[in-house]
Structure 1
Amino acid sequence: MSEVSLGQAQQAIRSADILIVGGGLSGALLAAQLMRLPGQRQVLVVEPRAELGRGEAYSAVELGHTLNGNAARMSVDPDNADDLTQWLTAFIADGGWPQSSEQTVPVAELFPPRGLFGLYAQQRLAEARVQGAGQGSSVEHVRAEGVDLQIDEQGALLTLNDGTRLRGAVAVLATGMFPAARTPQTESSGLNAAALDPWDVAAMAQLDPHARVMIIGSGLTMVDAVVSLEQAGHRGPIDVFSRHGLLPHVRRQPPAWVDFLALDPGIGSPRQLMHELRRQCRAAAVEGIDWQAPLDTVRAHIGRLWSQATDVQRRQFVRHVRPWWESHHHRSPPLSAELVARLHAEGRLRIQAASFKGLAPSTDGRVTLCIRRRGEAGTTLVGGDALINSSGIEYDWRRVARALPQQLLARGLVQPGPLALGIAAQADGAVLDAQGQAARRLFAMGPPLRGMWWESTAVTDVASQAKALALRLVSGPQSL
């Protein structure tokens, strides 16, 4: 993959057919799909990291930070569900990931390290680039950060963090996820300044091994944080605070179950879905089948159900169902779940249903939290030696204190998505501006479309969106 340095880019405005803003998994998969399509096109991918295809999620270096889905569920090829399994089989046969032999399950059931998955995505992009070069197409990595974007009738003009400008016939916002632990907030509580990065094992290794660590949030980021602490040699108590005190369930490999939503298209509202899902789970239990089997069939229908729901129904789902949906649907990889369960059984890890209300002043070098326990009206102060922010992903762009999201909102080029989740767009990814008009030159994909599809972060979702958007871009009015 060729890379354009900032010094070179300063010499003139670079032009391309397509600008992809963000080179994590979303941007890399879109670039790969564009390279596979007939025709000639030049693509610039703007990404500050040294490598494309990794982003926040797949830059992990610790083997213990694994995918939360097994290989059979995580293909980047929407036309081949076994693509990752096939790649992983060959990779292991060539001597890669020797630790996989410790798990006596088929390759399709392995949960690869996230860093290894990033390598897989990079190789698929490299292969697509070779294919594209054969027909005159190219992908170039501009290692920089986009800080402003302007749209006119001729296309998009992207300003980078050194003042360099890039012009494209269209631009795609493939900005990925904004982890709360690593994202500056417009209204900061000071939490991140006081907290350790959930994935920074080296920083955790500097703690006293018996330090009391407090974690805010009990989802999959918390699971990663516990894995990080374990790998850092931490042996002290861990207190986890979350509003409902729910842990992710462990992901198992249940047998196939009938796609009951396909058989009954009349099920549309969240209330109807939950009623029927509970009935299906009870029926599975009677047959001795894991409740995860019926739940997994819902996956293919989530986007349709969410997009058809009214705002009232969406709010009801987020307010009353979301915590349980997240803990049941976004499940933990088995080895990580085993660690959390063991520490909980030993009494080292405690889960408390409590809301974080802020940081309290501390003069002894420790960290003091102000929390409100579930069911209590008043707040309580709790102290520990270290703090980790595992509160998940920040989807509200109004709260993300980074230049590009703020500039896009200020210019009126984007508007918040439903329930302020990501940004608003049409079904084909065309972004809606502040007046609700669909853009001809600005598109989005992946996590920014959370408000449209609810589940817009999983690998299979992103892969399908990349394929559809690539086709849209090369067949659109701009005739790329």
Structure 2
Amino acid sequence: MTETPGAQLTPAIRHADILIIGGGLSGAMLAAQLLRLPGKRQVLVIEPRAELGRGEAYSAVELGHTLNGNAARMSIDPDNADDLTHWLAEYIAAGGWPESDQQHVPISELFPPRGLFGVYVQQRLAEAQVVGARYGSTVEHVRAEVVDVQTDIDSVRLTLNDGQRLQGAYAVLATGMFAAARTPQTESSGLNAAALDPWDVTAMRQLDPQSTVLIIGSGLTMVDAVVSLEQAGHRGPIEVFSRHGLLPHVRRQPPAWADFLAEDHSIRTPRQLMRELRRQCHDAIAQGIDWQAPLDTVRAHIGRLWSQATDVQRRQFVRHVRPWWESHHHRSPPLSAELVARLHGERRLRIHAASFKGLEPSSVGGVNIRIRRRGETQTCVVHGAALINSSGIEYDWRRVARPLPQQLLARGLVRPGPLALGIAAADDGAVLSADGQVASRLFAMGPPLRGMWWESTAVTDVASQAKALAVRLAGMCPVV
């Protein structure tokens, strides 16, 4: 073929049955489920990272950055709650993770490093590929970032940042979470440009060990940041600022408790749930039982309760209950919680109920931030040698300055979910367009559906969604 002078060749379009946009936990689990189903199909997973199955959460390399749930709670097999426990037992028996004996608990109660959990996901995906090969199915990793999506009546077309173009019968938005600390935002205050990555131990080793570090946010990302500082050898003051000044509770292993929501179908609203949950927790404490026992029965019902609540009720929950829900429900792994508690007891780590109002110039190096303490009207400036953004996850796609969410919104292929949390979708994951039409070829799963189900980020939630969506997609693809 002869190229016309001045003309550009249009890159060839690669075809597949299913295109999975994102190759972290969500994308890898969906791919594995598809491989295990009968039928011959070609799946492309588009993920810019070098490895599938890790994503934002499980790319951590430090042993101190652990899961916030124990092994018995973190299986990626929705049909076998003990899958991770069994995998860990074999891995440890083979000589892997020798540090596991420091936790002094049964394997089912271990809190594995997040990097090790990524190995587990990758191994299960590799095993699924062996199964898929018997059916003639394949999964291929395309290492690139999707920057645009277009749909028509019979296909979905993707444009990648390297110029590649892909076309498939169906596509799935498995984009995972956009960590605020690593996400450019359309309304940026410059925070991320001035802040250290919460998981970058190497960068923290460059700090004066006795210097003051400022942290915005007091949730689980803050806990990780404190672990990172400790492993980097930092021994100076740590000042933490968050609107409510709440720390995550430590995750314990409470005894079983009756599933009161399964027994009482009259509880339908967030207010009714909180009232009854408080009563159940008080009853547990009166019996000498950990209050976490009744709380842990609620997860299985959150999707139902959230989806049937009105927008007014959801807004009330987010505004008035969410901080306490997050600190009680999304709890810290024991070793990390022990570190935070020790530093707090030594007065090296202090928690301030205060809102971040922006950055201020510093003439002496380091960083200045302007805050407003809770209950006060005036702001003040606080100085530190370094700043860490631990404000958690950005769920509002309108504020994520990345090409894919911006293009999807601009084209009207998706619309914000309830309360602008993630994107809107039907019960089966088919996304809703800007005008409310249910897509026939574009689906979503995992964290993008936060607004639909509230808890759509945990491993067990994503595992269940992956299985259900795989069955649906396999049923729509012709069997060869």
Q: Is the 8 Å Cα contact of residues 180 and 390 (structure 1) preserved in structure 2? A: yes
Q: Amino acid of the residue matched to residue 434 of structure 1? A: A
Shift in Å at residue 453 of structure 1? 0.4
**Alpha-carbon separation, structure 2, partners of 1:141 and 1:345:** 47
Q: Amino acid of the residue matched to residue 172 of structure 1? A: V
**Alpha-carbon separation, structure 1, partners of 2:262 and 2:476:** 32
Is 1:337 the counterpart of 2:334? The answer is no
Q: Amino acid of the residue matched to residue 411 of structure 1? A: R
Structure 1 gap segments, 5+ residues each: 1-9
Q: Amino acid of the residue matched to residue 86 of structure 2? A: Q
Provide the residue aligned with 1:291 in structure 2: 291
Provide the residue aligned with 2:279 in structure 1: 279
Provide the residue aligned with 1:239 in structure 2: 239
Q: Amino acid of the residue matched to residue 95 of structure 2? A: G
Secondary structure, counterpart of 2:297 in structure 1: helix
Provide the residue aligned with 1:104 in structure 2: 104
Shift in Å at residue 154 of structure 1? 1.5
Provide the residue aligned with 1:7 in structure 2: none
Q: Amino acid of the residue matched to residue 250 of structure 1? A: V
Is 1:470 the counterpart of 2:470? The answer is yes
Provide the residue aligned with 1:373 in structure 2: 373
**Alpha-carbon separation, structure 2, partners of 1:363 and 1:168:** 55
Provide the residue aligned with 1:427 in structure 2: 427
Taking a change above 3 Å as real, the CA distance of residues 453 and 20 of structure 1, as seen in their structure-2 partners, is same
Secondary structure, counterpart of 1:248 in structure 2: coil
Secondary structure, counterpart of 1:253 in structure 2: coil
Q: Is the 8 Å Cα contact of residues 219 and 391 (structure 1) preserved in structure 2? A: yes
Q: Is the 8 Å Cα contact of residues 157 and 167 (structure 2) preserved in structure 1? A: yes
Structure 2 gap segments, 5+ residues each: 1-9
TM-score (normalised: structure 1): 0.97
Q: Is the 8 Å Cα contact of residues 302 and 453 (structure 1) preserved in structure 2? A: yes
Is 1:311 the counterpart of 2:311? The answer is yes
Shift in Å at residue 476 of structure 1? 3.0
Shift in Å at residue 374 of structure 1? 0.4
Aligned length: 471
Provide the residue aligned with 1:68 in structure 2: 68
> What does 1:153-232 align with in structure 2 at a 5 Å threshold?
153-232=153-232
**Alpha-carbon separation, structure 2, partners of 1:456 and 1:479:** 30
**Alpha-carbon separation, structure 1, partners of 2:209 and 2:365:** 17
**Alpha-carbon separation, structure 2, partners of 1:133 and 1:275:** 52
Secondary structure, counterpart of 2:298 in structure 1: helix
Is 1:407 the counterpart of 2:407? The answer is yes
Q: Percentage identity across aligned positions?
A: 81
Provide the residue aligned with 1:437 in structure 2: 437
Q: Is the 8 Å Cα contact of residues 88 and 107 (structure 1) preserved in structure 2? A: yes
**Alpha-carbon separation, structure 1, partners of 2:361 and 2:381:** 10
The ranges of structure 1 where at least 4 consecutive aligned residues each deviate by more than 2 angstroms after the TM superposition are: 476-480
Q: Is the 8 Å Cα contact of residues 25 and 121 (structure 1) preserved in structure 2? A: yes
Provide the residue aligned with 1:115 in structure 2: 115
**Alpha-carbon separation, structure 2, partners of 1:162 and 1:211:** 42
Secondary structure, counterpart of 1:134 in structure 2: helix
Provide the residue aligned with 1:416 in structure 2: 416
**Alpha-carbon separation, structure 2, partners of 1:88 and 1:11:** 45
Secondary structure, counterpart of 1:64 in structure 2: coil
Provide the residue aligned with 2:41 in structure 1: 41
Is 1:364 the counterpart of 2:353? The answer is no
Secondary structure, counterpart of 1:297 in structure 2: coil
Q: Is the 8 Å Cα contact of residues 39 and 479 (structure 2) preserved in structure 1? A: no
Q: Amino acid of the residue matched to residue 142 of structure 2? A: V
**Alpha-carbon separation, structure 1, partners of 2:341 and 2:225:** 14
**Alpha-carbon separation, structure 2, partners of 1:137 and 1:255:** 43
**Alpha-carbon separation, structure 2, partners of 1:42 and 1:11:** 20
Q: Is the 8 Å Cα contact of residues 214 and 238 (structure 1) preserved in structure 2? A: yes
Provide the residue aligned with 1:346 in structure 2: 346
**Alpha-carbon separation, structure 2, partners of 1:198 and 1:141:** 28
Provide the residue aligned with 2:7 in structure 1: none
Shift in Å at residue 148 of structure 1? 0.2
The two structures, once aligned, show a CA RMSD in angstroms of: 1.0
Shift in Å at residue 363 of structure 1? 1.5
Q: Is the 8 Å Cα contact of residues 425 and 438 (structure 1) preserved in structure 2? A: yes
Q: Amino acid of the residue matched to residue 150 of structure 1? A: Q
Q: Is the 8 Å Cα contact of residues 400 and 406 (structure 1) preserved in structure 2? A: yes
Shift in Å at residue 11 of structure 1? 5.7
Q: Amino acid of the residue matched to residue 344 of structure 1? A: H
> Per-residue CA shift, 1:92-111, capped at 9, x if unaligned?
00000000112211000000
Q: Amino acid of the residue matched to residue 339 of structure 1? A: L
